[in-house]
Structure 1
Amino acid sequence: MFHDSPIYDRLIAERGDVPTQVRREAERVSRELELVLRPTHALGYPDPSPRPSSPGAGWQRTALLPGQLPH
């Protein structure tokens, strides 16, 4: 995205590639959550309630507006 920008290159040199570090950490957390949410599957046991494998099936992330509380 900003790979041709001297300012971006300087920030990476000074602070490290924070976006890449965040992406890797998010991927790691996502893998761990998958293991926690499906413990029997991770241990080699069949999943007692198979879920559809269609695109989009899985976690749905929704944002809350400031001041909103989850239901």
Structure 2
Amino acid sequence: MTSRPVTSRPTGNDHLPVYESLVRERGDVVAEAREVAERTQHEARQALAGHPATRPGPAPR
């Protein structure tokens, strides 16, 4: 009988050392993308409501 490696499904509580090291090296791209998406949604809502477009500067790092 051949044994197979036991794999577990990741959960929100798992420690993710690879992801954490990438965040340290490259920045938190997921958080940055979320901020850009939220800002874009806000601007789209304003545009659809007839408010003039404003262009905020780049997000602080």
When the two structures are superposed, what TM-score results if normalisation uses the length of structure 2?
Answer: 0.58
Q: Are residue 37 (structure 1) and residue 48 (structure 2) matched?
A: yes
When the two structures are superposed, what TM-score results if normalisation uses the length of structure 1?
Answer: 0.51
Report if the CA contact (8 A) 1:3-1:9 is conserved: no
Aligned length: 41
Which protein has the larger Cα radius of gyration, Structure 1 or Structure 2? 2
- The CA RMSD over aligned residues, in Å, is 2.1
Can you give the 5+ residue segments of structure 2 that lack an aligned partner in the other structure? 1-11, 53-61
Runs of 4+ in 1 over 4 A off after TM superposition: none
**Which structure would you say has the larger RCO, counting Cα contacts within 8 Å and 6 or more residues apart?**
2
Does the residue aligned with 1:4 lie in a helix, a strand or coil?
coil
